[in-house]
């Protein structure tokens, strides 16, 4: 049977979500946990994240024997071996023709800024940054809504057929001592969100103009090459 796993993970413990030569990826750790239960099939991830990026809602698929009837028991058993850096939230049996990656309709990410006093215990999970003009940030973030060619908003060497993506949501909101950027799209390129976040910050810091941002968004000229730190970014939702 085909099993869908919904899980969260601490990206600071891994070199990215995909399998790595030295077995330091989220996928490697997840597969290792499954082997303890006699599940040796390859896992397939719905979305990839870079080194240091976290997930509060990731999805993977794996094929296993039909004898796994009690999914709650199986979930608890997997967590015994996947903790402390990966936590399985839910398991679901899917049709055999379910495509965990290609059936996705949208992915959502959140980038978290913390405006409080720096703490080394939180530094892997938020980006400590001074308070920002939330109204101005939203004005800038609106530029990304719609369908655009994000050719200049992705890491070099990205192996994709098209750099065109459709963004449904791009906005900022505050929660307690934090500002959170929320993005929803039909897909994201490698480094796209971190390049977007860094560009917004450059404009807020008056090191880049909105006109220059539009030029980069129209793939006319690249004005920002920097990426925001990975530790503030979370994969937060995947919709089918």
Query: Binding site residues for substrate, as ranges?
Result: 109
Q: Coil, strand, or helix at residue 73?
A: helix
H helices present in 40-104, as ranges: 71-82
The separation between CA 174 and the C-alpha centre of its own chain, rounded to angstroms, equals 20
* Alpha-carbon distances, residue 91 vs 29, 163, 195, 222, 237 (angstroms): 17, 33, 34, 43, 16
H helices present in the chain, as ranges: 26-35, 71-82, 134-141, 192-204, 210-217
- Residues facing 62 on adjacent strands: 3
Bridge-based pairing state of the strands 54-63 and 233-239: parallel
User: In 3D, which of 110, 126, 119 has the Cα closest to residue 55?
Assistant: 110
Instruction: State the catalytic residue, choosing from 10, 32, 50, 159.
Output: 50
Q: Is the CB of residue 113 less than 8 Å from the CB of residue 35?
A: no
Is 50 noted as a catalytic residue in this protein? yes
Residues catalogued as catalytic:
50
């Amino acid at each position: 049977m085909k099993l869908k796993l919904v899980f969260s993970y601490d990206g600071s413990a891994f070199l990215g979500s995909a399998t790595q030569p030295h077995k330091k990826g989220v996928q490697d750790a997840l597969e290792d946990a499954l082997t303890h239960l006699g599940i040796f099939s390859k896992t397939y991830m719905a979305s990839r994240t870079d080194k240091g990026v976290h997930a509060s809602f990731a999805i993977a698929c794996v094929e296993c024997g039909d004898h796994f009837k009690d999914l709650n028991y199986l979930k608890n058993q997997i967590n015994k071996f996947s903790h402390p850096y990966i936590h399985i939230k839910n398991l679901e049996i899917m049709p055999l023709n379910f495509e965990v990656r290609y059936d996705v309709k949208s992915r959502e990410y959140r980038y978290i800024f913390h405006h409080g006093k720096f703490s080394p215990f939180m530094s892997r999970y938020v980006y400590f940054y001074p308070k920002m003009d939330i109204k101005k940030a939203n004005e800038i973030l609106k530029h990304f809504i719609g369908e655009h060619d994000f050719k200049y908003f992705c890491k070099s060497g990205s192996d994709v057929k098209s750099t065109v993506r459709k963004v449904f949501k791009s906005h900022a909101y505050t929660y307690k001592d934090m500002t959170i950027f929320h993005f929803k799209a039909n897909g994201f390129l490698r480094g796209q969100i971190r390049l977007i976040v860094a560009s917004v910050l450059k404009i807020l810091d008056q090191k880049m103009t909105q006109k220059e941002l539009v030029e980069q968004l129209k793939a006319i000229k690249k004005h920002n090459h920097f990426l925001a730190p990975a530790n503030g970014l979370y994969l937060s939702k995947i919709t089918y």
